[in-house]
Structure 1
Amino acid sequence: MSLTLKSRITLNDGHSMPIFGLGLYQAESSSKTIQIITDAIKLGYPLIDTAEIYKNESQFGEAVKKGIKREEIFLTTKLFTTEGGCEGCQ
């Protein structure tokens, strides 16, 4: 089996998620990051991975506002341990 940017894995709930994506660890909270996200998606990266502690989740939102279809992107993010639970995620 050869892996490509379109390769996916099926999760326990039946949904599938891309295997490859762009990780935003240490990406600045800036307009440059918005452009990087936009370019990566245009190049075929189907997944964006971020985290609350990276402080760049809003750049993903800004990239989507620039005309990227949200339903075409799989977003993963992480919360800091003190933000757990349903109440902390809202």
Structure 2
Amino acid sequence: MANSVSARKRARQAERHRQQNASQRSHVRTKIKRVLRAIDAGDKAAAEEAYKAAVPAIDRSVSKGIMHANKAARHKSRLNQHVRSMG
């Protein structure tokens, strides 16, 4: 357990940041799942709308350090491929 005042403060900050990061990560995953659900349902219009909403959320997670840039690019690329290949 943290003993010094500064260590206790750091522990409080770390916990607050962990919770914020978890919330952001969950938010991005939800956006991605919405795109995947629309793709599975075969609804191209809904998939395109969900993809347009997901891309800024993914980019925001990169800028906040929640997700690595390459992982974000991979998600965007694969989601876009699936949406574009829909009939």
TM-score, normalised to structure 2's length?
0.31
Q: Specify the structure having the higher radius of gyration (Cα).
A: 2
Structure with higher helix content = 2
Structure with higher strand content = 1
